Amino acid sequence: MERRVALVTGGTRGIGFGCAEALAREGWDLAVCGVRAEEEARAALEQLRGFGGEVLYVQADIGDDDAPGRLVSSVSSRFTRLDLLVNNAGVAPKERKDILDATPESFDRVLRINLRGPYFLTQAAARFMRDIGPRDARAGKCIVFISSMSATVASINRGEYCVSKAGLSMASLLWATRLAGEGISVFEVRPGIIRTDMTAAVKEKYDRLIDQGLMLQKRWGTPEDVGRAVAMLARGDLPYSTGQVILVDGGLTVQRL
């Protein structure tokens, strides 16, 4: 049996690295992308290679029009197959601003990277998955969208981010509906408050809220928590659940009195 291949966007840091590491531990070959030069990502890449699999790095901004084609072409050239796409790459607004003061430039940037990019990468990847067909009897092909609690929890100082994640949630439903007949499962993994570079600037705020009981489980989430959920889906452990949302939020979104 051939080794299975995953493409993880933003796979050298934060949640993306947590997903890539979880897959590497389970014997996957990886293609990861990021906006940094390969030399800047070398430490993360070597850590992933330490699990014994092949790791391809492609420098790409997922929001660029040519990125989907370049990424899928790179995977095709190196591995000739693709079994899993993890749409993880995303950005926060450069400045958190009240929605009364937000700018069109910030809105366009965030939606270009967080929504438009994954949408069309999924299109390119799904075409490739469909055309190469199955090669072994193991779990079928899978696409995962990493969204956020912000898909449903409003934050008025970063409205563009919330809108992008809500759109990504609908994209997951659309692609699940379209690709079920192609044998490709699609899931949304929706993290809560995860300790990453993106949340470092608001650490004190969330430390306080967590201590006050914001979540049922009183701790920060970690990239490893998200990675475990993705690995579960990649193994095919939920074979009859395409289109579903997997919450990794410590009980943050449980309604309570």
Structure tokens at 66: 């040519």
Reported residue count of the chain is 257
Q: Point out the residues that are catalytic.
A: 161
81: closest CA among 119, 126, 128, 49?
128
Strand extents, DSSP E, 61-118: 84-87
209: Cβ–Cβ under 8 A, 6 or more apart, which residues? none
- How does DSSP assign 139-175, residue by residue? S-EEEEEE--GGGTS--TTSHHHHHHHHHHHHHHHHH
